[in-house]
Amino acid sequence: MKQELSLKKLKGLKPKGVKPRLENTDLEKLIDIGKYFIDSKKDSVFRDRLGLKYLNKFREEFKEKVKDCKLNQDLITQAIFSSYGEFSYEESVAFGIYSGMLLTELTKRKHAEKKISSFYFDGQGLEFNNLFRQTKNIDFLVVENIKGTQVCTHLGYEGRIGVVAGINIQGTNLFSALNFSKTKCKALFVYNIGGFDSDSFEVDHSWLFGYTSNKALVFIPGQNKANSKLVYEDLDKLELSDQELKRINSNDLFVKFNPSQLQRRSWYLMKAGKVFDILRNFDNKYDSEDEKMKDLVDIFKTYYARKKND
């Protein structure tokens, strides 16, 4: 993947292939640690089928290497954009696990400060195979404008996930293998996503029916009897242009699919329409990602906060 970036948000960071002068900064350390895991783990990344033996070894090395590094939204984002390139599949898995561990470590530090852990990533339409693979713990994760395979796969593996959201994502096996029961996931929101297959989800102790769409609207609440409350619709069925879709707020869009009474009750109770309006930037309300994420986190904290025993 060639990444010829000119992203203001990356504060002048140059794309891979153009070496910036970093002078041993925290960013340089994170990039070097990522390179280490790619070089040392790519040939063994599928041993033990990515089971506990391999992952625990990976995690112990990771903890030692990042213990003195500063971590925040900007540093992790910049490290990801600086590192992703034309990876082999094995390399993308190794770095994807590393990126997931960065989110988990960020969450650990936030929780130590009695703070919520949230992360927003805008991929700018680029390809990020296996990004955030097997993130163990995070409260709120929002990912948008990405292409790739197995993006956000196995979220919450051996851990806890709060709320996950994605918009404008194309690929294969996206958000796959999310186990709502084991991870205590509160909800999944996705909009305009292709390559999303519900057959790989465990909800309310049963697997969802297989269904794929090139342009899906999905809301899965982490509730009892979720199979009768979830919303999984194909936006193409409405036969509306992208511009027409943009002019319809999410509650009105939801009604067009003739939802059941149980679906309606869950949708409105959990403020799904409001969440989707923010994700879609309906009415162009938001000028920055920070503003959008702040409003999302406010809703998530109010309606989706974890209980003490979660």
- C-alpha pair distances (Å), 261 with each of 186, 212, 228, 264, 266: 21, 24, 10, 5, 9
Regions of the chain short of the pLDDT cut 50 = 1-19, 21-22, 48-49
Residue 275 pLDDT: 97
Q: Which residues contact 116 (CB under 8 A, 6 or more apart)?
A: 110, 139, 140, 297, 301
How far is 172 from 274, CA to CA, in rounded Å?
27
* pLDDT at residue 177 in the model: 87
Query: What is the C-alpha separation between 107 and 112, in angstroms, rounded?
Result: 9
Tens-digit pLDDT profile for residues 228-265: 899 999 999 999 999 999 999 999 999 999 999 999 99
Strands (E), 128-197: 137-149, 160-172, 187-194, 196-197
140: three-class secondary structure by DSSP: strand
Q: Which residues, 6+ apart, have CB-to-CB distance to 109 below 8 Å?
A: 71
- Rounded CA gap, 78 and 30, in Å? 9
Q: Quick one: tokens of 123? A: 């991929």
CA distance 231 to 169: 18
Give the per-residue pLDDT at 18.
Answer: 44
User: DSSP secondary-structure letter at 166?
Assistant: E
